[in-house]
Copies of this chain bind each other. A is one copy, B any other.
Amino acid sequence: MSDADVDVAIVGAGLAGLAAARAVVAAGRTAVVLEARDRVGGRTLNEDIGDGKVVEVGGQWVGPTQFRLLELARELGVETFPMHVQGKNIIEWRGALKRYSGTIPRVSPLVLADVQQAMVRLNRMAQRVVLEEPWRTPDARALDSRTFATWLDDRGILTKGGRELLELTVQAIWACEPADVSLLHVLFYVKSAGGLEALTDSEGGAQEARFVGGSQRVSLRMAEELGDRVRLSTPVRRIGWSGGDAVTVGDVRARRAIVALPPTLTSRIDYDPILPGHRDQLVQRMPQGTVWKCMAVYDEPFWRRDGLSGWGMSDVGPVRLTYDNSPPDGSPGVLLGFLEGDHARRAGLMPPAERREAVLDVFGRLFGTPARSPERYIEKSWAEEEWTRGCYGCYMTPGGWTSYGSALRAPTGPIHWAGAETATIWNGYMDGAVRSGERAAADALRALDALPVPVVA
């Protein structure tokens, strides 16, 4: 035991892994973080757009109740700025283009009432979820036996328009289709965020603010602090844990390990001995979502001159939601659009030029001809990334929570599991990632404290 290189070896230098390392070091223990890529940040990644400015091709927003992320950013000196929401929003709906103010899109009052009703019911159902153990929720098995699509079919929604808006909501939150996801998982996730509005809204919700200099800075700053404890370009292919209180993570001998990866990737490492079947089968049931994040960069945010906020919605697609993603000073102008769920899956099979064309066509329809000719076009699908394989995160397919949920956070021998998908608060979000890393670190520290004191030779 005394020949361990470190107390805790951590796999993955995303927000979860770095937050875990930080917590371990703060407790006076030693840590090393092994990262497959040549950079830190995981699913957060800044893209340089010149003049020292960036856009993010991964996670970017922070909401007012994401306390751990906000606190961490503040400690690290990473500031936030409000999302640009000034001006009128625009919606392409049933063949017409309409402008409107506020958060309520200009669709028929019947549709709005229908959606409102559905949201109230979803929030009410979500309240009953047991966050720490969703499988103990009243009626858990029934809720987990059906897809969200079934809930919509059965009684969730009455109008065709309302259904489209809720489908869009699912695509926007999970980057999957209502067919793909367990109803129980939807309810768990809603409660985990504090309500459906917290997930969908800009002002007051998860899309309220952005990080100055880009969200990746939170990870970059943590990595700076951790110094040479973070080893880049070091994929961990093997974890050996046969030796009781010892674990070998890649080449590093440690006393505990924290694996801070998207669940679906955790089984792509070779474990010796292998993981229990229950744990392996859990992650077989947690697929990653699918999203192309597409941005067009213009001289200036010309839509603002037209009185538009840049926030748009389309019932035609393939981009269904757009945002003004310009830097804090509004220069250059950046329009952001998402292809999500089946739109993203189809887009992934297109030649890049065709995909770009499809995206810019939506921008053009919503914001006028100039939107069709950006100075630069940027797109990213994390499904094409070996070390992520999808975005925004992994969700539970039906049956997953009730048959396998208990394996999600339970340590396997000296191996602890972190990552946004293991969080109980803001599951799937940057805030959840930070919380999950800190929780796994606390678990590992507790285990270290319980170990016999090493005999110094």
Contact = CB atoms under 8 A, between A and B. Distances in A.
Contacts of A288: 281, 284
Contact of A281 (B149, B278, B390): B390
Contact of A342 (B268, B286, B349, B403): B403
A284 B267 contact: no
B290 A281 contact: yes
Interface residues of A, number: 46
Of A145, A178, A402, most B-chain CB atoms within 10 Å: A145
A404 B146 contact: no
Nearest to A289: B281
Given A277-B390, A287-B284, A397-B397, A180 B146 contact: no
A179 interface: yes
A106 B384 CA distance: 54
A191 to B, nearest CB: 21
A274 B403 contact: no
A170 to B, nearest CB: 11
Interface in A315-368: 342, 345, 348-349
A240 B281 CA distance: 28
Interface string A269-308: 0000010111011001111101000000000000000000
A398 interface: yes
Contact of A399 (B176, B268, B381): B176
A386 interface: yes
Contact of A389 (B153, B280, B348, B389): B280
Of A153, A284, A287, most B-chain CB atoms within 10 Å: A284
A173 interface: no
Contacts of A402: 179
A150 interface: yes
Contacts of A397: 180, 285, 287, 397-398
Interface string A219-261: 0000000000000000001000000000000000000000000
B345 A403 contact: yes
Contact of A277 (B150, B176, B281, B384): B384
A172 B386 CA distance: 36
Contact of A150 (B147, B280, B349): B147
Contacts of A274: 384, 386
B147 A280 contact: no
Interface in A392-447: 397-399, 402-404
A435 B365 CA distance: 50
Nearest to A147: B398
Interface string A370-384: 000000000001011
B348 A278 contact: yes
A141 interface: yes
Given A147-B147, A278-B348, A284-B288, 7 more contacts: A144-B179, A267-B389, A277-B348, A277-B383, A281-B383, A284-B287, A345-B404
9 contacts: A147-B399, A177-B403, A277-B384, A281-B288, A281-B290, A281-B383, A281-B390, A284-B287, A284-B389
